[in-house]
Structure 1
């Protein structure tokens, strides 16, 4: 079939099967298929597209409700434009043509195809990031998830210890991230209940610290732990205490696995991120280390055509404010629809920059003192400014320069 008419493809994605619909520029349904989620199904899809004029130089654009998976990877080869349509947006398009609110998978595929036919200009294609950037994104997001999971399990363990074992919390309090440290794990496995902890000898405590990798101050630390465990604490009945101890050991296994996963993924990020060409520029910014810099790169990618200007990047990150106006009333508020991962990384970035960049600290203080911003609003404004600087540096391949980034703030501070 010739390409004298424009053709659009919509795919209703599911776990095992997919529905495909092709329409022309007049909205006429040309073909529909039901394919499986395997190599055979992908071949049927590609053959169907080729039958209706799909070529390497002029591929048929595709709309689908996901940005991940093997099907998307197959579609993204070559120059094809793949549009990941938000399911909520697709539902609004469905209501335009079906007042009865009926829903079917073939019908959803047709709706997605018509989204491209009528409003392709209003939707954004998947970015053309390099394979290295996409690999770093996988590792950085996995490390972030593992860190959040570790903290969640640590909070659960802390809550459980408060119910029957406050001596352990007091013993680990001087340690940073105490419940995540190997020494805490060794001691909890050695004494899962306060009754057993009170019977630990100096020799047993020193041996546990050595197994955890401690090298210095072992005798003094063992003595401190012994005094904490033998202090006077309220206790649960013995049977209840033993049961809670078994529950704690089961939770401790999950925490150890989460700590190992977070550490292994951190090492993987440290190995992959410096290999990227943008790593040197990103790491030149104050407040950005390898882990946080990798998270920023994972969300913005290395496709320079993804954002038309710095304003688009700021809106994507939720750093820039949004204005809502109706009649004579208007309000300026923060954005709720944003990339949550990038926004979270930006909060940590701005917080770290306060102690490593004089210009950033002066800008933050000016927002607090002169504009009356609260802490979160001032940090968000700082993040908004630093994102603009990052966009400029990546576009022009320049490293961060403090005097260029904050000339007014540095002069005021001087």
Structure 2
């Protein structure tokens, strides 16, 4: 058996090859791409001998994505994706002063897959369809997060230089209303906005098919003409350029989010498990795609519903030492998955009578809003695990049958 620590960077990989007794056989700095993988295969062949099987090669690396990882999996090697925080704590075995180097990291990764392999999680064998869903679902969510950040930057800019715009466009949500953004680009300062005619405002609203546009145009026209505190001309010009830049970026983000949403739905609906996910209460195409993307579809990845709940971060964690015993929420978790599951749990309160009863039961026990919602999500993860395991769609009566009657004291 050969153990390989693979410390990756943007353009190269530092690797260390060990035998099963921990002896260092070789180290190398490999380029990214085909040439680097070819050299890695040569190293393995040179030190493994003719009888070495691909499954006898174990690789530890700090990522589970990318063409390099896929090439390792395609070669038949055992690949373990290791959290960088685990590597940092593992290196404390060598010294406690916290030194950091690429050579030290590849040695630690090789030692980890040699000594602690039973405690590590191998890279999931997700299908190509699930990987595609993961790529587009994450990209779509990242664009939405970026839109939110850009909106807050725009709002901060307007609050400093043009607060009347926030009141004038209050009915037109700046995050997604292209008409309000176009008006800001056309007139990004108080002086230029005051010169906008009612006909110009109405034309922009009509182009975006706004209802009651005459009344809205009148309101906006009046608000933009309110007296405002001014700033020096150079400062106003700088703020105008900043406002227009943020507005143009928001328009572009809105267009790309809409386009990516089409891709998310197409890839998700093409997956064989889409029907099961869509049968769950509180899940539609986007939420279902996010949950599928983060859970993956490797049937051997989660040995039980408890394992899936632990990965989702919905199940509590216990900290016990001596007489101290605390049960609390998991905060070290997959945040994208946790966000999707909370969205599902919230929507399920209206879509599923069983989920609503379960939530009300927790609230009756004086459990807070978020903990109660998290417990609903935890229960839904367990139901999803059962549906995926048996390849059956969700059934309301079966899912909540043992929660229909109150428990005896």
Instruction: State TM-score, norm by structure 2.
Output: 0.92
* Superposed counterparts of 1:256-271, under 5 Å: 256-271=251-266
Structure 2 residue ranges without an equivalent (≥5): none
Is structure 2 residue 396 aligned with structure 1 residue 402?
Answer: yes
Give, in angstroms, the shift of residue 205 of structure 1.
1.2
CA distance in 2: counterparts of 1:109 and 1:57, whole angstroms? 20
User: Of 364, 375, 378, which residue of structure 2 is paired with 1:381?
Assistant: 375
User: Of 195, 199, 215, which residue of structure 1 is paired with 2:195?
Assistant: 199
Structure 1 residue ranges without an equivalent (≥5): 1-5
User: Of 127, 140, 159, which residue of structure 2 is paired with 1:162?
Assistant: 159
Partner of 1:225 in structure 2?
220
Secondary structure (helix, strand or coil) at the match of 1:61 reads strand
Equivalent pairs, count: 403
Give, in angstroms, the shift of residue 7 of structure 1.
2.1
Q: Is the 8 A contact 1:130 1:302 kept in 2?
A: yes
* Superposed counterparts of 1:41-60, under 5 Å: 41-51=36-46, 52-53=48-49, 58-60=55-57
Give, in angstroms, the shift of residue 81 of structure 1.
1.3
Partner of 1:95 in structure 2?
92
Secondary structure (helix, strand or coil) at the match of 1:325 reads strand
Q: Is the 8 A contact 1:192 1:248 kept in 2?
A: yes
Secondary structure (helix, strand or coil) at the match of 2:220 reads helix
Give, in angstroms, the shift of residue 9 of structure 1.
1.6
Partner of 1:115 in structure 2?
112
Partner of 1:248 in structure 2?
243
Q: 1:157 to 1:215 in 2, by over 3 A?
A: closer
User: Of 149, 154, 167, which residue of structure 2 is paired with 1:152?
Assistant: 149
Q: 1:161 to 1:263 in 2, by over 3 A?
A: same
The two structures, once aligned, show a CA RMSD in angstroms of: 2.1
Deviations 1:342-375 (A, max 9, x none): 1111111111112222221221111111x21111
CA distance in 2: counterparts of 1:379 and 1:73, whole angstroms? 37
Partner of 1:209 in structure 2?
205
Q: 1:41 to 1:329 in 2, by over 3 A?
A: same
Q: Is the 8 A contact 2:362 2:372 kept in 1?
A: yes
Give, in angstroms, the shift of residue 43 of structure 1.
0.4
CA distance in 1: counterparts of 2:248 and 2:144, whole angstroms? 16
CA distance in 2: counterparts of 1:194 and 1:411, whole angstroms? 63
Deviations 1:177-198 (A, max 9, x none): 3442111112112221222222
Q: Is the 8 A contact 2:5 2:108 kept in 1?
A: yes
